[in-house]
Amino acid sequence: MQTAVLSPSFTPLLRKSHDPLAMKQPFLRLRPLAAASSSAVTSSSSFHGLPGPRPLVSLPSLSDRRPKDALVLRATSVPESASPSDGDGASKSDGMLQTLQLGSLFGLWYLFNIYFNIYNKQVLKVFPFPLTVTTVQFAVGTVLVLFMWATNLYKRPKISASQLVAILPLAAVHTMGNLFTNMSLGKVAVSFTHTIKAMEPFFSVLLSALFLGEMPTIWVVLSLMPIVGGVALASLTEASFNWAGFWSAMASNVTFQSRNVLSKKVMVKKEESLDNINLFSIITIMSFFLLAPITLFVDGIRVTPSYMLSAGLDLKQIYLRSLLSALCFHAYQQVSYMILARVTPVTHSVGNCVKRVVVIVTSVLFFRTPVSPINSLGTGIALAGVFLYSRVKRIKPKAA
């Protein structure tokens, strides 16, 4: 509306162009509205009772133009047809938020795992007792879980005896998987341990077929061949190779994939009082009580402070790095279970293999591990097979 922006200085121009008296009587001088009204009052005394002239200007004020103002008000209203597009935008934003959350979980999973491997390897190099190291990690996790429940940071679950019996196998394979991983890290290089653990898709496909009834396609089976071949080539040229470290890493593959498949079956039941966080918390506590008596019986006096001092070890550094390792251990395991609740076991295994790439590269750079060209080629073939596996896994078989 153009009239809404006119200033008072434009009033004389409007009077000149719209007033019929101004057009017929050019000898009349145009004056501002205030002056014209005052002259009309004094003119009655000047002409001795004669009626004064009509006001030269009788323009309607801007506030009187109500029909046009109503049009402006109607123009500012929001049409109802815009609501569906708003709903589409909200759904897109929700999908974007979920994607960002899942990506953040994967990033935290990788970061905590990198620091866990670095601190854990530093401890195991000077303190070759993987049973005790694993028990300490479960003990720190148990303390964190109990603190979380006691302070109501997370609601404590109401769990029945039948649920505890169902979770016990999960705790057993979880305990063995972490113990085997620490045994392998204590014997061989971090990069070689994770190269062997790149075979997890093979065991994931096998166990998913056996326990979940998920039969792989021919393309999935073919994609596993470079993974197995690459691991074999890297093993033949590994400088730190020994059979104890090799078979420990292979055993951790079997136990971890068994845990993932079994935990997926437990979480599918959707118990209201037992979500993935509480499931992992209960597994951690169970693992500690399962492993602590074995540790006391096997290691015994060799892990006491007096024995460690007599061996010339720096207790402060060992305790500090063991604590940091245990904290990172619990954090990355917790995030791993949070991811497993959102994806399938096979997708979780693929993400785990991508994590291997990051851990292998960072460990080689941090520990300056010597890597031969053939070893690098074998590792690259295995990781390329993992990528190929992740691509062909999305191809769904045709319905019969």
What is the secondary structure of 56-103 as a DSSP string? S--PPPGGG-HHHHHHHHHHTSPPGGGHHHHHHHHHHHHHHHHHHHHH
Give the span between the Cα atoms of 400 and 398, in whole angstroms.
6
CA pseudo-torsion sign 109, 112, 116, 118: positive
Kindly state the tokens that stand for 304.
């006491």
Coil, helix or strand for 148?
helix
Residue 199's pLDDT is 86
- H helices of 151-275, in order, are 161-187, 190-196, 200-207, 218-236, 243-268
The position carrying tokens 């021919």 is 218
Kindly state the tokens that stand for 127.
């303190």
Asked whether 196 and 383 are in contact (CB, 8 A), the reply is no
Q: Write the DSSP symbol of residue 188.
A: S
Residue type for position 83: S
Give the span between the Cα atoms of 148 and 118, in whole angstroms.
27
Residue 28's pLDDT is 42
Kindly state the tokens that stand for 273.
């009082």
Residue 339's pLDDT is 87
Q: Write the DSSP symbol of residue 398.
A: P
Give the span between the Cα atoms of 123 and 314, in whole angstroms.
11
Residue 57's pLDDT is 44
Residue 341's pLDDT is 77
Asked whether 224 and 272 are in contact (CB, 8 A), the reply is no
Kindly state the tokens that stand for 240.
């730190």
Phi, psi of 393 (to 5 degrees): -65, -25
Residue 154's pLDDT is 82
Give the span between the Cα atoms of 115 and 117, in whole angstroms.
5
Residue 86's pLDDT is 56
CA pseudo-torsion sign 395, 398, 399, 400: negative
Residue 190: HSE in the Cβ half-sphere, 13 Å Cα cutoff: 28
Along the 400 residues of the chain, how does pLDDT read in single tens digits? Answer: 444 444 444 444 444 444 444 444 444 444 444 444 444 444 444 444 444 544 444 444 444 444 444 444 444 444 444 455 555 666 777 778 878 888 889 999 999 999 999 999 999 999 999 999 999 999 999 999 999 999 988 888 888 888 888 889 889 998 999 999 999 999 999 999 988 988 888 888 888 888 777 888 888 888 889 988 999 999 888 888 899 999 999 999 899 888 777 766 665 454 455 777 888 899 999 999 999 999 999 988 888 888 888 888 888 999 999 999 999 999 987 888 788 778 876 677 677 767 878 899 999 999 988 888 998 899 999 888 887 887 787 666 654 4
